[in-house]
Amino acid sequence: MSRAPVVSSLLQGDGSALPAALRGLINNAQCSDVSFVVGKQRQVVHAHRCILMCRCKVFQRMFSRQPQTPKEMQVPFILADVQPEVFLAVIEFIYTNSVTLDSVIVLEVLTAAVEYGLTELRKLCVDFIGQTLTVELACEALQAAVTYGQGDMRQKCLGFIELYTQEIIKTQSFRELSDLGLVSILQSDHLAIDEVPLIQAVREWAYVSSAVLDVPVSVVAQDVVRDLRLVLLSPDELTTLERENAKDELIPEIQIAQAWKFHALKKVSDSNPHHYQRRKGTLPREHHLYLDPPAK
Protein backbone atom coordinates (compact mmCIF):
# COMPACT_ATOMS: atom_id res chain seq x y z
CA MET A 1 0.00 0.00 0.00
CA SER A 2 1.62 3.24 -1.12
CA ARG A 3 1.82 6.20 1.24
CA ALA A 4 0.08 9.42 0.34
CA PRO A 5 2.52 12.19 -0.62
CA VAL A 6 3.28 14.70 2.09
CA VAL A 7 1.89 18.10 1.23
CA SER A 8 3.45 21.18 2.83
CA SER A 9 2.86 24.85 2.37
CA LEU A 10 3.95 28.09 4.04
CA LEU A 11 0.82 29.91 5.15
CA GLN A 12 0.80 33.55 6.17
CA GLY A 13 -1.24 34.87 9.08
CA ASP A 14 -1.97 38.51 9.79
CA GLY A 15 1.23 40.31 8.70
CA SER A 16 0.69 43.14 11.17
CA ALA A 17 0.23 40.97 14.24
CA LEU A 18 3.90 40.19 14.92
CA PRO A 19 5.24 43.79 14.56
CA ALA A 20 2.37 45.00 16.76
CA ALA A 21 3.25 42.45 19.43
CA LEU A 22 6.95 43.23 19.25
CA ARG A 23 6.25 46.95 19.54
CA GLY A 24 5.03 46.24 23.05
CA LEU A 25 8.50 44.93 23.93
CA ILE A 26 10.33 48.14 22.97
CA ASN A 27 12.09 49.48 26.06
CA ASN A 28 10.11 47.01 28.16
CA ALA A 29 12.01 45.77 31.21
CA GLN A 30 9.88 42.61 31.35
CA CYS A 31 11.98 39.67 30.13
CA SER A 32 14.70 42.12 29.05
CA ASP A 33 18.22 40.70 29.23
CA VAL A 34 20.31 43.69 28.12
CA SER A 35 20.23 47.40 28.87
CA PHE A 36 21.87 50.53 27.51
CA VAL A 37 22.65 53.81 29.24
CA VAL A 38 22.09 56.35 26.48
CA GLY A 39 23.14 59.98 25.97
CA LYS A 40 24.08 62.72 28.36
CA GLN A 41 20.74 62.17 30.07
CA ARG A 42 21.91 58.62 30.94
CA GLN A 43 18.51 57.26 30.02
CA VAL A 44 18.20 53.50 30.49
CA VAL A 45 16.83 51.59 27.50
CA HIS A 46 15.87 47.93 27.94
CA ALA A 47 16.12 45.41 25.11
CA HIS A 48 16.29 41.72 24.25
CA ARG A 49 19.51 40.19 22.98
CA CYS A 50 17.93 37.58 20.71
CA ILE A 51 15.97 40.23 18.78
CA LEU A 52 18.93 42.60 18.44
CA MET A 53 21.31 39.82 17.38
CA CYS A 54 19.04 38.31 14.72
CA ARG A 55 18.33 41.73 13.17
CA CYS A 56 21.68 43.52 13.41
CA LYS A 57 25.18 42.13 12.88
CA VAL A 58 26.72 44.99 14.88
CA PHE A 59 24.80 43.90 17.97
CA GLN A 60 25.64 40.30 17.17
CA ARG A 61 29.36 41.10 17.30
CA MET A 62 28.91 43.34 20.35
CA PHE A 63 27.24 40.60 22.40
CA SER A 64 29.53 37.81 21.21
CA ARG A 65 32.53 39.69 22.59
CA GLN A 66 30.88 40.27 25.97
CA PRO A 67 31.68 37.80 28.81
CA GLN A 68 28.78 35.43 29.31
CA THR A 69 28.59 35.00 33.10
CA PRO A 70 25.16 36.03 34.45
CA LYS A 71 26.62 38.79 36.63
CA GLU A 72 28.67 40.31 33.80
CA MET A 73 25.72 40.16 31.40
CA GLN A 74 23.79 42.48 33.71
CA VAL A 75 26.30 45.32 33.18
CA PRO A 76 24.69 47.90 30.84
CA PHE A 77 26.31 49.16 27.64
CA ILE A 78 27.18 52.86 27.73
CA LEU A 79 26.21 54.83 24.62
CA ALA A 80 27.10 58.40 25.58
CA ASP A 81 27.28 59.86 22.06
CA VAL A 82 23.74 59.16 20.88
CA GLN A 83 20.48 60.83 21.86
CA PRO A 84 17.91 58.56 23.53
CA GLU A 85 15.26 59.48 20.90
CA VAL A 86 17.65 58.43 18.13
CA PHE A 87 18.58 55.12 19.75
CA LEU A 88 14.92 54.35 20.46
CA ALA A 89 14.13 54.98 16.78
CA VAL A 90 16.80 52.41 15.87
CA ILE A 91 15.34 49.94 18.39
CA GLU A 92 11.85 50.58 17.01
CA PHE A 93 13.04 49.67 13.51
CA ILE A 94 14.87 46.54 14.70
CA TYR A 95 11.77 45.30 16.53
CA THR A 96 9.05 46.26 14.03
CA ASN A 97 10.77 46.99 10.67
CA SER A 98 9.18 50.45 10.80
CA VAL A 99 10.31 53.74 12.30
CA THR A 100 8.81 57.01 13.51
CA LEU A 101 10.86 59.93 12.16
CA ASP A 102 10.78 63.69 12.38
CA SER A 103 12.96 66.45 10.98
CA VAL A 104 14.75 66.96 14.31
CA ILE A 105 16.24 63.47 14.62
CA VAL A 106 16.25 62.07 11.08
CA LEU A 107 19.85 62.99 10.23
CA GLU A 108 21.11 61.40 13.44
CA VAL A 109 18.98 58.31 12.81
CA LEU A 110 20.54 58.13 9.35
CA THR A 111 23.99 58.29 10.94
CA ALA A 112 23.04 55.50 13.33
CA ALA A 113 21.59 53.41 10.50
CA VAL A 114 24.90 53.62 8.64
CA GLU A 115 26.92 52.80 11.77
CA TYR A 116 24.72 49.81 12.64
CA GLY A 117 24.60 48.53 9.07
CA LEU A 118 20.80 48.81 8.84
CA THR A 119 20.41 49.32 5.11
CA GLU A 120 16.62 49.40 5.04
CA LEU A 121 16.49 51.97 7.85
CA ARG A 122 19.00 54.07 5.93
CA LYS A 123 16.74 54.00 2.89
CA LEU A 124 13.72 55.05 4.96
CA CYS A 125 15.71 57.99 6.35
CA VAL A 126 16.84 59.04 2.87
CA ASP A 127 13.27 58.90 1.57
CA PHE A 128 11.99 60.95 4.50
CA ILE A 129 14.73 63.56 4.08
CA GLY A 130 14.01 63.83 0.35
CA GLN A 131 10.32 64.48 1.05
CA THR A 132 10.84 67.00 3.87
CA LEU A 133 13.83 69.10 2.79
CA THR A 134 13.75 72.75 3.79
CA VAL A 135 15.97 75.71 3.00
CA GLU A 136 17.36 75.62 6.54
CA LEU A 137 18.20 71.90 6.54
CA ALA A 138 19.27 71.31 2.93
CA CYS A 139 23.01 71.86 3.45
CA GLU A 140 23.03 69.88 6.68
CA ALA A 141 21.44 66.97 4.84
CA LEU A 142 23.88 67.36 1.94
CA GLN A 143 26.78 67.29 4.39
CA ALA A 144 25.51 64.04 5.89
CA ALA A 145 25.16 62.55 2.40
CA VAL A 146 28.72 63.53 1.51
CA THR A 147 30.11 62.30 4.84
CA TYR A 148 28.46 58.88 4.63
CA GLY A 149 28.71 58.37 0.88
CA GLN A 150 24.95 58.39 0.27
CA GLY A 151 24.83 59.13 -3.46
CA ASP A 152 21.04 59.02 -3.85
CA MET A 153 20.51 61.41 -0.96
CA ARG A 154 23.26 63.69 -2.23
CA GLN A 155 21.46 64.04 -5.55
CA LYS A 156 18.12 64.82 -3.87
CA CYS A 157 19.74 67.49 -1.69
CA LEU A 158 21.64 68.99 -4.60
CA GLY A 159 18.50 69.17 -6.71
CA PHE A 160 16.75 71.09 -3.92
CA ILE A 161 19.74 73.41 -3.44
CA GLU A 162 19.80 74.14 -7.18
CA LEU A 163 16.20 75.37 -6.99
CA TYR A 164 16.62 77.55 -3.89
CA THR A 165 20.26 78.59 -4.12
CA GLN A 166 19.75 82.27 -3.31
CA GLU A 167 17.92 81.47 -0.07
CA ILE A 168 20.21 78.60 0.93
CA ILE A 169 23.48 80.53 0.72
CA LYS A 170 22.16 82.76 3.52
CA THR A 171 21.68 79.89 5.99
CA GLN A 172 23.97 78.94 8.84
CA SER A 173 24.17 75.35 7.58
CA PHE A 174 25.66 76.63 4.30
CA ARG A 175 28.45 78.38 6.23
CA GLU A 176 29.08 75.20 8.21
CA LEU A 177 29.59 72.95 5.16
CA SER A 178 32.87 71.10 4.77
CA ASP A 179 34.99 71.96 1.76
CA LEU A 180 33.87 68.72 0.08
CA GLY A 181 30.23 69.60 0.68
CA LEU A 182 30.65 73.07 -0.78
CA VAL A 183 32.59 71.78 -3.78
CA SER A 184 29.71 69.41 -4.62
CA ILE A 185 27.46 72.49 -4.85
CA LEU A 186 29.86 74.67 -6.81
CA GLN A 187 30.38 72.00 -9.47
CA SER A 188 26.71 72.23 -10.48
CA ASP A 189 25.66 74.01 -13.68
CA HIS A 190 22.11 74.39 -12.40
CA LEU A 191 22.45 76.72 -9.41
CA ALA A 192 19.76 79.42 -9.49
CA ILE A 193 22.19 82.22 -8.70
CA ASP A 194 24.61 84.57 -10.45
CA GLU A 195 28.34 84.17 -9.90
CA VAL A 196 28.85 87.49 -8.07
CA PRO A 197 26.67 86.67 -5.01
CA LEU A 198 27.92 83.08 -5.16
CA ILE A 199 31.52 84.27 -4.83
CA GLN A 200 30.50 86.49 -1.92
CA ALA A 201 28.81 83.52 -0.22
CA VAL A 202 31.99 81.46 -0.64
CA ARG A 203 34.00 84.33 0.88
CA GLU A 204 31.69 84.39 3.91
CA TRP A 205 31.93 80.59 4.21
CA ALA A 206 35.73 80.84 4.09
CA TYR A 207 35.84 83.41 6.91
CA VAL A 208 33.71 81.17 9.13
CA SER A 209 35.78 78.06 8.34
CA SER A 210 39.00 80.02 8.84
CA ALA A 211 37.90 81.06 12.32
CA VAL A 212 36.78 77.55 13.27
CA LEU A 213 39.89 75.78 11.95
CA ASP A 214 42.31 78.61 12.83
CA VAL A 215 43.93 78.61 9.39
CA PRO A 216 44.19 81.40 6.79
CA VAL A 217 41.27 82.04 4.45
CA SER A 218 43.42 81.22 1.42
CA VAL A 219 44.28 77.81 2.87
CA VAL A 220 40.80 76.78 3.99
CA ALA A 221 39.33 77.72 0.60
CA GLN A 222 42.04 76.45 -1.74
CA ASP A 223 40.07 73.42 -2.98
CA VAL A 224 36.77 75.32 -3.09
CA VAL A 225 37.65 78.41 -5.14
CA ARG A 226 38.83 76.26 -8.05
CA ASP A 227 35.16 75.74 -8.91
CA LEU A 228 34.30 79.43 -9.05
CA ARG A 229 33.70 80.58 -12.63
CA LEU A 230 35.49 83.89 -12.81
CA VAL A 231 35.23 84.17 -16.58
CA LEU A 232 31.50 84.80 -16.12
CA LEU A 233 32.31 88.17 -14.53
CA SER A 234 32.50 91.38 -16.54
CA PRO A 235 35.77 93.39 -16.57
CA ASP A 236 34.36 95.83 -14.01
CA GLU A 237 33.34 92.95 -11.74
CA LEU A 238 36.76 91.35 -12.10
CA THR A 239 38.37 94.64 -11.11
CA THR A 240 36.21 94.80 -7.99
CA LEU A 241 37.02 91.17 -7.21
CA GLU A 242 40.75 91.87 -7.46
CA ARG A 243 40.39 94.77 -5.03
CA GLU A 244 38.53 92.61 -2.50
CA ASN A 245 40.90 89.72 -3.04
CA ALA A 246 43.90 91.87 -2.11
CA LYS A 247 42.57 91.94 1.47
CA ASP A 248 42.33 88.19 2.07
CA GLU A 249 43.90 86.38 -0.93
CA LEU A 250 40.87 84.14 -1.12
CA ILE A 251 41.42 83.35 -4.81
CA PRO A 252 44.89 82.63 -6.28
CA GLU A 253 46.16 85.39 -8.58
CA ILE A 254 46.72 82.91 -11.39
CA GLN A 255 43.01 82.05 -11.40
CA ILE A 256 42.07 85.72 -11.75
CA ALA A 257 44.71 86.13 -14.46
CA GLN A 258 43.11 83.30 -16.45
CA ALA A 259 39.80 85.19 -16.39
CA TRP A 260 41.52 88.32 -17.70
CA LYS A 261 43.14 86.18 -20.39
CA PHE A 262 39.72 85.07 -21.58
CA HIS A 263 38.58 88.69 -21.85
CA ALA A 264 41.66 89.48 -23.92
CA LEU A 265 41.48 86.48 -26.28
CA LYS A 266 37.71 85.74 -26.24
CA LYS A 267 38.57 82.05 -26.41
CA VAL A 268 37.44 79.13 -24.26
CA SER A 269 40.35 77.10 -22.85
CA ASP A 270 40.46 73.44 -23.78
CA SER A 271 42.12 72.58 -20.45
CA ASN A 272 39.01 73.28 -18.34
CA PRO A 273 35.99 74.08 -20.50
CA HIS A 274 33.60 73.45 -17.60
CA HIS A 275 34.67 76.74 -15.99
CA TYR A 276 33.29 78.59 -19.03
CA GLN A 277 29.82 77.11 -18.64
CA ARG A 278 27.09 79.50 -17.54
CA ARG A 279 24.98 78.34 -14.61
CA LYS A 280 21.19 78.33 -14.70
CA GLY A 281 21.05 81.57 -12.71
CA THR A 282 23.91 83.38 -14.45
CA LEU A 283 22.89 86.89 -15.51
CA PRO A 284 23.73 87.77 -19.13
CA ARG A 285 26.78 89.90 -19.89
CA GLU A 286 28.09 91.10 -23.23
CA HIS A 287 31.15 88.84 -23.29
CA HIS A 288 29.03 85.72 -22.72
CA LEU A 289 28.63 85.59 -26.50
CA TYR A 290 32.01 83.85 -26.53
CA LEU A 291 31.06 81.23 -23.92
CA ASP A 292 29.34 77.88 -24.17
CA PRO A 293 25.54 77.88 -24.31
CA PRO A 294 23.86 78.53 -20.93
CA ALA A 295 22.90 75.60 -18.75
CA LYS A 296 19.36 74.31 -19.31
Residues 68-118 pLDDT 10s = 666 666 778 899 999 999 999 999 999 999 999 999 999 999 999 999 999
Beta bridge partners of 79: 38
Listed by start position, the domains of the chain span 169-296
Q: Is the Cβ–Cβ distance between 104 and 141 less than 8 Å?
A: no
pLDDT in tens, 55-82: 999 999 988 876 666 666 677 889 999 9
Within the chain, strands assigned E span: 34-38, 43-47, 77-79
Q: Rounded to whole angstroms, how far apart are CA atoms 105 and 86?
A: 6
Look up residue 228 and give its amino acid. Answer: L
Pairing of strands 34-38, 43-47: antiparallel
Report pTM: 0.84
Tens of pLDDT, residues 159-202: 999 999 999 999 999 999 999 999 999 999 999 999 999 999 99
Instruction: Let me know: does 101 contact 89? Beta carbons within 8 Å.
Output: yes
